[in-house]
Structure 1
């Protein structure tokens, strides 16, 4: 079993490594690949068979865009049967937690500050479970590539008008794709994503 572990907090990565070590005493884990900053790209996934991704989501524009793009562009192309656990901070908005908990392949959405026993329980259950899919009726609607590109550009500070000019489409097309993306994510606007959170990240205890 190959596991990809991505989290910016060194303490959280160390804690997860310890939990994975407990599993490894009784089962075979071939490799744990670590990254501190971003989800894996297609270039990585093309050469590695990953069974479980443990990925961080925090409320900033770059991280959200990268995680959404991972699900839209990379996961179902290179690792369609892999399971995903997403680690989130307490300050993350509830609609985003709800959205990602309903994304295909996501087994669990866990609080960064959750007690160690809670994280252990979910992680072990995920490793032992052969079925990682939610029922089709409860799955979240995925963002289209066009919606993702518009959202990504807006989060980078590009105006809707400039996006329309660059793509040579009508301004209303861009506005419609923005509204559709926000609706799928359960968000009324992008404003809160552009704010810096006051909370400081800490590893689970």
Structure 2
């Protein structure tokens, strides 16, 4: 039960509190506020509130216990439903508009110790502020975003702004690397945080995975990615 005025849940002890003969039910806080600070009239029938017309029958301990158990059961079912709705997201990958995936980079540059160089204005840093660079250990290019199954070293560049990522893709895709090879660039994909999937708060402040539902148009299953 919710108070129709403040939309707060009506306490179980006030469930049978009806301040007006018309039966319009509000919480005692709103009733007191109307009497003390407003016109003292029922919002429904406009009758003047009177202490003599108040109908209040306190709940028995059995009723309170029954309603409390029903509330707990409802909250449990709601939580289970939320968990079920999130389970299918474990297999989803979402296009991240501030993440750029680059293949074709020279193996001489694609090294962990050279990440500061890749961050510089001579390379990916010229397009905007970078929050993270990750060199993929796998050598399979993304068919979804590249349109090709050519194997290569992959580099993920996460920008602070989506606009910078878009600018980087336009500039990098189709250009030549230091070894003369053609670079391919597109938006990268990410997955959902495992703690989010368990309906728990993520305690990792540096977590780069998703903690809220992504756009449906940008979401794909791993099977989709392998066939596109």
Report if TM-score (shorter chain) is over 0.5: no
Q: Which has the larger radius of gyration?
A: 2
So what's the TM-score if we normalise by structure 1?
0.20
